[in-house]
Amino acid sequence: MMFNHLRDDFPTLSGEDPAVYLDNACMTLRPQPVIDAIRTYYEQSPGCGGRSVHRYANVVSRRMANCRKNLGELFNAYQTNEIVFTKNATHSLNQVAKGLSWNKGDIVLTTDREHNSNLVPWLQLEEEQGIDHRVVASNDDNTFNMENFEKACAEAGNKLKMVSVSHVGNLDGVATPVKEIAKVAKDHGALVCIDGAQSTPHMKVDVQDLGIDFMAFSIHKMMGPSGMGGLWGRMELLENMRSIQSGGSTVDTSNYDSLKWSPPPAKFEGGLGNYAGILGTDAAVDYLAKLDLDAIHEHEVKLNTKMTSILKDVDGLSIIGPQDAKQRGGICSIILENIDAHDVAILLDEAAGVMVRSGMHCVHSWFNAKGIERGSLRASAYLYNTEDEVKLFAETLVEAVEALG
């Protein structure tokens, strides 16, 4: 109940009998200050930040700089300009994969439970440039297998160029020991990239302490606007990385036969910016920075423990990942043996006003490898969810399984 007082900040949770929103691993709800910031841009200062010099543009430029600074402080970046605005974590991961230089036979390691955004770019490079993408198998409960990873690194030898892993899995909420992974990877001379989409909204993330080189994140999972994400990278790497979107402000100047690239981050931010989204991001980061992220994580675990206690022994369903909810954060992903997950998701919404995710969650590879054709039902909690809400979800699901199973 420690965050109940914040529920009034979210318009969709105000009023009588609001819906129960448990699809936070997809995107979170937005608090009023974020909505106000977006509206203010269009109503009061709809200018081109960093380009024009009139008063509208100057307001936007200052807010953009403030947003970049606040994101850098949130993640403990050495330099503000190590923060690049992107559309989402997918965009960020593609910038890393396709912006670096590769040789045929270069080895990239990922885990076996990656979102498509941290799998498909590497598969594409394997097809097009001949890199060698290898998958590190997890333990049976989806926790990270360090022994398998160390063996894969040893087998790769000096061909190992990149280790790219999810910090927290969107499939199951299981955290990956990134700091330990980075130490091993660095011993083998490899770069380390993490998909922080599921960690940055829920826990403190210090890129220096983790010892990584790149981190992708999605603002729409951090109470910010849709269409906004970010990339943090070490400046010396960003300076030598190719932009996958050129034009506009990505260059300082151009001639008919030559060009001069802008320094990071402008080098990667081609085209007119999503200024309303950036101002909304600034408001979201300001809102998030005032909260205790450790307390948010503790609250989510408490809610997941409640869900798990109701669901763990029910015939016809099984929870993906460790049975201990403490190892799954705020995510409870459930395989239904004899019922279509989409049908149950629709039923939960229509009968109980509970919104969850159903399907493959963009982790098709994991489901396909296990021969699971229907995907799973995923409930994911955030700071504004309550014990009563997760209890309603779990008890309604049990009723549905008993009636339809």
Please identify every residue annotated as catalytic.
Answer: 362
Q: How would DSSP label each residue in 252-278? A: EEE-SS-EEEPPTTGGG--SS--HHHH
Q: What is the pairing mode between strands 229-233 and 251-254?
A: unpaired
CA-to-CA dists, residue 300 to 138, 185, 281, 333, 387, angstroms: 24, 31, 23, 14, 10
Q: What is the DSSP letter of 57?
A: H
Helices (H), 291-370: 293-311, 341-352, 364-369
- Tokens 């709809």 -> residue: 46
Given the DSSP bridges, would you call strands 107-111 and 83-86 parallel, antiparallel or unpaired? unpaired
Amino acid identity of residue 194, one-letter, is: I
Residues 6+ apart with CB under 8 A from 103: none
306 exposure class (CB count in 10 Å sphere: 0-12, 13-18, 19+): buried
Q: How many residues does the chain have?
A: 405
Number of Cβ within 10 Å of residue 274's Cβ equals 19
Distance CA(231)–CA(356), nearest Å, equals 28
Q: For residue 352, how many other CB atoms are within 10 A of its CB?
A: 17
CA distance 234 to 207: 10
Cβ contact 178:153 at 8 Å: no
Q: What is the separation of C-alpha 159 from the centre of its chain, rounded to a whole number of angstroms? A: 28
List the structure tokens of 345.
């998701």
